[in-house]
Chains A and B, each alone.
Chain A
């Protein structure tokens, strides 16, 4: 790969929400994949983080967030409500976002615990989540019209139901449960905000979603589209072949 001075590359600012408390199942991988793929598409990624009490970074181009322990969710919930207006504004401006698991839930209207206690979310996504006694754990394969097969791993006891203001990220789960045990959907989408229960990490094995986030950001900021990916080869295989092999394996593993 030709090394270009990073200074003359166009900047894309990637903001990780609450990485200190909300990144339990390899959510870091999503940040790393965005960083590397931005480089391989010829952009200069600027990786930003926001934790409770921080000043909210200006002009983020992509936002991502992950899952956490219950204790982690308690820590960030009040802070999240404090930046809700900013996040709603960014969502309305069609800024691309990917929220996994715990932050997917808190991007909805509320999480109701089994005892009936409601933890308020920020309502960017028209979804509601209910705590249950069943932990849904295991490999997931799902079908999405836009992204094709989405493959990941779920581990959650909250079950999420979609309102009319969102569509599922993947309409049909073929292995696993997804949002809940009663319908076939996985995740949710409003404008360019994606919510999902899938870790894996999600983006390494689902580059279509990574490229959607990147392409949307690049289009909004510079009015251009991403072109060819200049990724290194591995053991004589292109990154695409390697990724396809990893997807084939993951899709055939037991739940």
Chain B
């Protein structure tokens, strides 16, 4: 379509499309974005260009959603009006749809700054249309390989995002491929977030995994960072130096701060370090320290990422898993002791169709307790995986709703944890809504 409408008209068309999609029971997310994108490709660039503090992009394979939510809350705690793509739709169209939900008919967005979570592949298109002022690049892990090709290709996408960023880029110094992006940056300020060497064993990378599970006998993750880098030679602006139960210690520049946290688990705590580094870069000397630490204490994880619900008086934790590194972190972040475990694996498009990643995770930490239920489209693949790791399974039920009913009924009094892929999580949350109040998704 090559029709070019004047601005207010494209907003009105998009808004109508959004309303129509909602009335038809859709999520109100992708379709209206598509309409406006076709009618007026400059819509996004023009609207976001009006923001006084510009656009910030968060990308990487793991932890985007929670980290974006943290950055948004930390900035709001500083008194800024923040626009973000909350719908969980990572695509450019999703961003357009989010904007349409918030702009007035004039096409003006009422915000100081935009903080956007973008998939690597879509971010590449986005940053060519809209130069972000700042970007935060988290990691490159095995994920969605079936869509984008290979890890090195994904790293190249993050590099493109960094090159199109105008002011400053925050990089994960522990991820060799991400840290190396600094080599191609000339004018931008580069900052790092990182881990104290003593904590690295909690965060095995894919490369470490390949080096260690290789020898089948030896399952200990390596304490060294990814081969070929010396992470310690890079100075991190924010360093995670201590992990406690709902507590983290951070080195912020020259100051060391221990904070209670609402988020739980090692990976969410490390995401907090990433968010702090980005906010410190954006605000610099303007940062209100007291407000920042208060926001840090209260920021909650994004839905599904270590989310805790209560059903029948006992907790149900949902842990989203979508790639080997994330699954390993989920297993090592939360002890299996005294917890009933369910695993739900789907292979829909949004989950990734390739099941090979399940074989890159060691499940031996579940061997002592066993697994109560395995579910999802690929329940039998998961059950095979566990069996070859010597983990006993009480039941296999591919149907998610039935599996959830059984799991809750047979484990009424213990804490329960469900590791689930993306679309399995959506289905389980929906069904959990019949037991308890679950925050709307979308």
Residue B292, interface by CB 8 Å: no
> Which residues from 187 to 241 on chain B have a C-beta closer than 8 Å to any C-beta of chain A?
210-211, 213-217
Residue A190, interface by CB 8 Å: no
Residue A107, interface by CB 8 Å: no
4 pairs of A and B residues whose beta carbons are closest in the complex: A29-B359, A19-B214, A26-B356, A26-B359
Q: Which of A85-93, A118-126, A141-149, A245-253 contacts B (4 or more CB under 8 A)?
A: A245-253
Residue A16, interface by CB 8 Å: yes
Residue B387, interface by CB 8 Å: yes
Closest-CB distance, A204 to chain B (whole angstroms): 5
A residues near B395, Cβ cutoff 8 Å: 235
Distance between Cα atoms of A134 and B389 in the complex (Å): 36
Interface size class of B (residues with CB under 8 A): 35 or more
Taking CB as reference atom, which chain B residue is nearest A25? B356
Given the known inter-chain contacts A138-B146, A155-B146, please indicate yes or no for A235 contacting B394, CB distance below 8 A: yes
Distance between Cα atoms of A201 and B384 in the complex (Å): 11
Q: Are B210 and A19 in contact (CB under 8 A)?
A: yes
Main secondary structure of the interface of A (DSSP, over half): mixed
Given the known inter-chain contacts A28-B214, A246-B384, A249-B378, please indicate yes or no for A137 contacting B355, CB distance below 8 A: no
Q: Are A16 and B214 in contact (CB under 8 A)?
A: yes
Distance between Cα atoms of A179 and B214 in the complex (Å): 27
Q: Are A70 and B150 in contact (CB under 8 A)?
A: yes
Given the known inter-chain contacts A20-B214, A232-B387, please indicate yes or no for A26 contacting B152, CB distance below 8 A: no
Closest-CB distance, A151 to chain B (whole angstroms): 11
For the complex, count residues of A whose C-beta is within 8 A of B.
49
Closest-CB distance, A219 to chain B (whole angstroms): 23
Residue of B215, B389, B394 with most chain A CB atoms under a 10 A cut-off: B215
Distance between Cα atoms of A27 and B356 in the complex (Å): 8
B residues near A32, Cβ cutoff 8 Å: 216, 359, 388-389
A residues near B357, Cβ cutoff 8 Å: 25-26
Residue A78, interface by CB 8 Å: no
Distance between Cα atoms of A243 and B374 in the complex (Å): 15
Q: Are B150 and A153 in contact (CB under 8 A)?
A: no
Q: A204-B359, A234-B396 are in contact. List 10 more A-B contacts (CB 8 A).
A: A20-B214, A26-B356, A28-B213, A153-B355, A205-B384, A232-B387, A235-B396, A242-B384, A246-B384, A255-B353
Taking CB as reference atom, which chain B residue is nearest A250? B381
Closest-CB distance, B196 to chain A (whole angstroms): 26
> Which residues from 366 to 391 on chain B have a C-beta closer than 8 Å to any C-beta of chain A?
374, 377-378, 380-381, 383-390
Q: Are A29 and B383 in contact (CB under 8 A)?
A: no
Q: Are A49 and B215 in contact (CB under 8 A)?
A: yes
Mark contacts of A15-44 with chain B using CB atoms, 8 A cut-off: 1 yes-contact digit, 0 otherwise.
Answer: 010011101111111011101100000000
Q: Are A243 and B146 in contact (CB under 8 A)?
A: no
Binding site for A on B (CB under 8 A): 142, 145-147, 149-152, 210-211, 213-217, 347, 353-360, 374, 377-378, 380-381, 383-390, 392-396, 398
Q: Are A246 and B383 in contact (CB under 8 A)?
A: yes
Q: Are B381 and A246 in contact (CB under 8 A)?
A: yes
Binding site for B on A (CB under 8 A): 16, 19-21, 23-29, 31-33, 35-36, 47, 49, 51, 69-71, 135, 137-139, 153, 155, 157, 199-201, 204-205, 231-232, 234-235, 237, 239, 242-243, 245-246, 249-250, 253-255
Q: Are A25 and B145 in contact (CB under 8 A)?
A: yes
Distance between Cα atoms of A31 and B359 in the complex (Å): 10
Closest-CB distance, B157 to chain A (whole angstroms): 15
Distance between Cα atoms of A231 and B151 in the complex (Å): 36
Q: Are B151 and A69 in contact (CB under 8 A)?
A: yes
Q: Are A234 and B216 in contact (CB under 8 A)?
A: no
Closest-CB distance, A198 to chain B (whole angstroms): 10
B residues near A157, Cβ cutoff 8 Å: 149
Q: Are A234 and B393 in contact (CB under 8 A)?
A: yes
Residue of B355, B377, B386 with most chain A CB atoms under a 10 A cut-off: B355
Distance between Cα atoms of A205 and B382 in the complex (Å): 11
Which of B146, B152, B210, B213 interacts with A137 by CB under 8 Å? B146
B residues near A26, Cβ cutoff 8 Å: 355-360
